[in-house]
Amino acid sequence: AQSVTQLGSHVSVSEGALVLLRCNYSSSVPPYLFWYVQYPNQGLQLLLKYTTGATLVKGINGFEAEFKKSETSFHLTKPSAHMSDAAEYFCAVTGGNSGYALNFGKGTSLLVTP
Amino acid sequence: ETGVTQSPTHLIKTRGQQVTLRCSSQSGHNTVSWYQQALGQGPQFIFQYYREEENGRGNFPPRFSGLQFPNYSSELNVNALELDDSALYLCASSLGYGVQETQYFGPGTRLLVL
């Protein structure tokens, strides 16, 4: 079955520092991968997704992620953190046994300090 | 363009009661998926509706049921509520049910079962 593992339930960075949120996937077929962000008391918003083609995917708010098949990873990065980036981030996968249902990781809470 | 809306925003029920949650999909979307997000966890897929038919189901018991209407809005019904049903319930709509389709989430309904 398709699954994702997010390494680090909490990540803290200083404002202006690099953001790196880790996601590894397990899949028997080519995966479709997504990153969503959830602000407090809100639903989920899509940051970016990988389907096929270019392995470096650019998303909203300056985020990007690179699909690395050899490492089964889809890590999310942003060069310079803003205070407004503080939120919960979820990696998700579809395809294979999961079909079209999003199979989410447990999430990573990003804290940005001044 | 109106996004995905859900009602009510919050709900308190007692064990054994029944509850109905509602979702209006984004304009032009014919597919609605429901997810349960327990505190501190990633969302879990409940089921999906495509053009008024259930199109897939996650690992949830039959007391979780749903409907989709001709205008593609949807309801989630939960019978015989249990304490563990306390969670944020998220509705997501999409243009179709393909594995590559982006699912757009509503703000959720927070259910507390006492």
Q: Could you report the per-residue pLDDT of A27-78, keeping only the tens digit for each?
A: 877 889 999 999 988 889 999 999 888 899 999 999 999 999 999 999 999 9
Residue B1's pLDDT band (boundaries 50, 70, 90)? Answer: low
Q: Report the C-alpha dihedral over residues B19, B24, B29, B30, rounded to 10 degrees.
A: 40
Q: Decide if B101 touches A, using CB distance below 8 A.
A: yes
Query: Which amino acid, B97?
Result: Y
Among chain A residues, the shortest Cα distance to B39 is held by A106
On whether the CB atoms of residues A93 and A73 are closer than 8 A, the answer is no
Nearest by CB to A32, from B42, B100, B108: name it.
B100
A94 contacts on B by Cβ (under 8 Å): 99-100
- State both tokens at B88: 């944020």
Region A6-32: what's the mean pLDDT? 93
pLDDT of residue A2: 83
Between B2 and B75, where is the model more confident? B75
Phi then psi dihedrals of residue B100, to 5 deg? -95, -5
B99 contacts on A by Cβ (under 8 Å): 32, 94-95, 99-100
Strands (E), B8-103: 10-13, 19-24, 31-37, 44-50, 53-57, 64-68, 74-78, 87-94
Between B99 and B19, where is the model more confident? B19
3 state SS of B114: coil
User: Could you tell me which residues come within 8 angstroms of residue A84 by beta carbon, excluding any fewer than 6 positions away?
Assistant: none
Distance from CA of B99 to the nearest CA of A (A): 4
pLDDT digits (tens, 9 = 90+) for B20-66: 999 999 988 999 999 999 998 999 999 999 999 998 899 999 999 99
